[in-house]
């Protein structure tokens, strides 16, 4: 049975409100150290930042345990190899891997292409001691959640373990959200009950991935069913952001554009609990860590007036308490 679970923070979320700007690298590491709740940093830095990350990691005693990047197939294979070398240099154990929906030539990537890429990337990762974890994410091949099991099972049929990053905010915000279910063409299956998003219902898609033992890494960014759009920003299309982030703790008056209700977070929390219950009972201890990811992107927290970092701290505090309760009861 697993007894350890580490909690970290993705560096784009080590900042306060939008108006406060992004602190420099040393300051971000110092903020994490002083908060005293995180075990590690999650980031694959740009090449010109690597030495600063190494110095700050050593100075503050915070390992860069995880990282990640997004990739366009047919263009970014060499970038992946470069990032894995960076991960090895920094001592990262996992590399969150996002495969964008379309190939470099414009066609939607197929399952066969994702499978071939996974096998190639896994082989590269093995050579450097870094495990690629393919993420569930909007604007990626996996936004059609049905494809994840198809790819995972096909990879396993080839005798290779399938490792993925669970970011269930991308599932939760589509609950009771027909317009977002249209993206990825899952609305019909959701309405028929063939695809279940609600984590409180048996057979839900997140539990299927968890029960399969595929979750090696997790991104924790709170979201709620039919999540409010990000009204604090306007995208290039002239619309608010899609809304895949919800404050974990109650913002101060005027800091959030919509009504905040703590009970609305329960579906998101239940998936975390489910993941922890599985981990506590898993003799292999497949899940290594959970990284908070309250971030400033247009579909997330861009323009926010609340502190992204304070949300991370509050979320980790809750996850630590929850993990203690679940692991002690296992």
H or E segment to which residue 182 belongs = helix 178-182
- pLDDT attached to residue 2: 67
Within the chain, which residues score under 70 in pLDDT?
1-2
The three-state secondary structure class of 6 is strand
- pLDDT attached to residue 274: 98
Name 234's Cβ contacts closer than 8 Å, sequence gap at least 6.
240
pLDDT of 162-186, one tens digit each?
999 999 999 999 999 999 999 999 9
Q: At what angle do helices 308-329 and 25-35 cross, to 10 degrees?
A: 40
Name 130's Cβ contacts closer than 8 Å, sequence gap at least 6.
84, 87, 88, 92, 93, 94, 95
H or E segment to which residue 28 belongs = helix 25-35
Backbone angles phi, psi at 174, to 5 degrees: -85, -10
- pLDDT attached to residue 283: 87
Name 98's Cβ contacts closer than 8 Å, sequence gap at least 6.
68, 69, 70, 71, 134, 135, 137, 140
pTM assigned to the model: 0.97
Residue 42: closest CA among 70, 59, 62, 72: 62
For residue 45, CA distances in Å to 61, 68, 92, 142, 208 come to 18, 9, 12, 24, 32
Say how far apart CA 185 and CA 187 lie, in whole Å.
Answer: 6
Say how far apart CA 111 and CA 252 lie, in whole Å.
Answer: 45
As assigned by CATH, the class of the 6-329 domain is alpha beta
> Per-domain residue ranges for the chain?
6-329
Q: What b-and-e string marks burial along 161-200, b requiring 16 or more CB atoms within 10 Å of the CB?
A: ebbbbbbbbbbbbbbebeebbeebebbebbeeeebbbbbe
- pLDDT attached to residue 42: 98
Say how far apart CA 244 and CA 221 lie, in whole Å.
Answer: 8
């Amino acid at each position: 049975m697993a007894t350890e679970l580490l909690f970290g923070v993705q560096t784009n979320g080590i900042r306060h409100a939008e108006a406060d700007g992004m602190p420099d690298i040393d300051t971000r590491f110092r903020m994490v150290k002083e908060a005293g709740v995180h075990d590690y940093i999650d980031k694959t830095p740009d090449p010109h930042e690597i030495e600063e990350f190494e110095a700050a990691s050593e100075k503050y005693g915070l390992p860069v345990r995880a990282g990640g990047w997004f990739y366009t197939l047919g263009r970014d294979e060499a970038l992946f190899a470069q990032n894995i070398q960076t991960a090895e240099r920094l001592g990262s154990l996992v590399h969150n891997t996002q495969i964008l929906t379309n190939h470099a030539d414009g066609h939607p990537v197929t399952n066969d292409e994702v499978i071939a890429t996974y096998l190639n990337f896994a082989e590269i990762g093995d050579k450097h001691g870094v495990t690629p974890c393919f993420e569930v994410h909007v604007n990626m091949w996996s936004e059609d959640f049905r494809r994840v099991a198809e790819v995972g099972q096909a990879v396993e049929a080839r005798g290779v373990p399938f490792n993925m990053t669970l970011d269930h905010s991308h599932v939760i915000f589509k609950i009771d959200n027909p317009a977002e279910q249209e993206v990825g063409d899952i609305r019909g299956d959701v309405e028929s009950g063939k695809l279940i998003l609600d984590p409180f219902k048996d057979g839900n898609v997140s539990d299927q991935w968890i029960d399969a033992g595929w979750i090696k890494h997790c991104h924790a960014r709170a979201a709620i069913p039919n999540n409010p759009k990000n009204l604090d920003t306007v995208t290039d299309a002239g619309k608010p952001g899609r809304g895949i982030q919800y404050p974990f703790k109650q913002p101060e008056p005027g800091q959030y554009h919509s009504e905040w209700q703590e009970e609305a977070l329960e579906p998101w929390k239940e998936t975390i609990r489910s993941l922890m219950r599985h981990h506590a009972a898993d003799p292999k201890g497949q899940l290594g860590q959970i990284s908070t990811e309250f971030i400033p992107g247009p579909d997330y927290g861009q323009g926010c007036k609340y502190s992204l970092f304070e949300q991370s701290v509050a979320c980790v505090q809750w996850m630590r308490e929850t993990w203690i309760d679940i692991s002690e009861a296992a």
